[in-house]
Amino acid sequence: MSIHVLHENPEWYPPFAAAFDAEGVEHRQWLLGEGTLDLDAPPPPGVYWSRMSASSHTRGHAFAKDHTRAVLSWLEAAGRRVVNGRRVLELEMSKADQLTALRAAGFDVPRTIAVVGSGDLLGAAGKLPAPFVVKHNQGGKGLGVRRFDSVEELADATLEPPVDGITLVQEYVRPAHPHITRVEVVGGELVYAITADVARGGFELCPADACAATGPPLFALREDFDDHPIVARYLDFARRHGIGIAGFEFIETADGRLVTYDINTNTNYNPDVEAVAPRSGPRMIARFLAGEAGR
């Protein structure tokens, strides 16, 4: 039984291919973005894993997201097992969607206003205390994420247009320590938590090898995290939303808040962290998907 990996960036595949091979699992990539789809044909047997990325348009794959929407609907209608399926794709594609779901589940999230099209961005920013953050609703890898110290500063700025027409204005969450934490979960289990250095890393925090910065590593394993109470809450959220594989990002503030602000359902694991961690993200994924295929 084969594992079909749906995405659009073959550069991200080697660590997963190596993990599937090491586990003895048959696997193939399905690169989305162009092609044909015969809606009357039955999908090939196997388990499907979608890791479509919200930033795929930045790699010249403008149609990859809508292609994935069509393919996942087709797979699910045919009864195929899809990990990170049709609903999860919409979570990946919209931070407004993520924050709404997190908030409804009782998580502390940053105060956020979504501004659509030529809506009143400055007016929205004026409702938040300064500094504040502006970001794209559909992004990833820090796309369009900028911090402003005043509405005037925002008024003078030239912003990249968001691909879905939605810009978020968001409370700036001041970290108590100069890092954010990302909690990786696979198949109902914690992989590990990593920290990403915000002092040097700024807002562009893509953990893939392909995005690695020069100099000392920006990413580190966060030790002694397994018993942190947020882990069980993220696992419960993932289970309720049918999320098989994800990284949850949070910031801890000086006044004791733990603020969750991003869910990544197309995680790339950092090689420096993988080298020292007690568990491996790609290996856990390979085992999880093999288990799903064996059902």
Ligand X SMILES: Nc1ncnc2c1ncn2[C@@H]1O[C@H](COP(=O)(O)OP(=O)(O)O)[C@@H](O)[C@H]1O
Among 53, 98, 138, 170, binds ligand X (CB under 6 A): 170
The answer to whether 189 and 235 have CB atoms below 8 angstroms apart is: yes
Binds 164, which of Mg ion, ligand X, none (CB < 5 to 8 A, cut-off by type)?
none
- DSSP conformation letters of 90-143: HHHH-HHHHHHHHHHTT-----EEEEETT--HHHHHHTSPSSEEEEESS--TTT
Whose Cβ is closer to Mg ion: residue 209's or residue 249's? Answer: 249
Shortest spacing between CB 149 and ligand X, in angstroms: 13
Bridge partner residues of 115 (DSSP) = 167
Does position 262 bind ligand X by CB under 6 A?
A: yes
Pattern 90-129, ligand X, x by CB under 6 A: --------------------x-------------------
Does position 262 bind Mg ion by CB under 5 A?
A: yes
- C-alpha angle with apex 266: 44 to 179, nearest 5 degrees? 165
Count residues binding Mg ion (CB under 5 A). 2
Whose Cβ is closer to ligand X: residue 141's or residue 283's? Answer: 141
Distance CA 69, CA 88 (A): 10
Whose Cβ is closer to Mg ion: residue 4's or residue 267's? Answer: 267
The answer to whether 159 and 167 have CB atoms below 8 angstroms apart is: yes
Does position 184 bind ligand X by CB under 6 A?
A: no
Nearest of 264, 232, 236 to residue 84 by alpha carbon: 264
Does position 177 bind ligand X by CB under 6 A?
A: no
Q: Side-chain half-sphere of 32: how many Cα atoms within 13 Å?
A: 23
Shortest spacing between CB 165 and ligand X, in angstroms: 17
Does position 247 bind ligand X by CB under 6 A?
A: no
Exposed, middle or buried, 241 (CB in 10 Å: 0-12/13-18/19+)?
middle
Nearest of 235, 259, 240, 59 to residue 139 by alpha carbon: 59
Whose Cβ is closer to ligand X: residue 142's or residue 187's? Answer: 142
Count residues binding ligand X (CB under 6 A). 21
Comparing every residue's Cβ against Mg ion, the nearest one is: 262
Shortest spacing between CB 287 and Mg ion, in angstroms: 26
Does position 145 bind ligand X by CB under 6 A?
A: yes
Tokens 């568990």 belong to 279
Tokens 């970001």 belong to 135
Summarize as ranges the residues that interact with Mg ion (CB under 5 A): 249, 262
Positions that interact with ligand X (CB under 6 A):
110, 133, 135, 139-143, 145, 170-173, 180, 198, 203, 205, 249, 251, 261-262
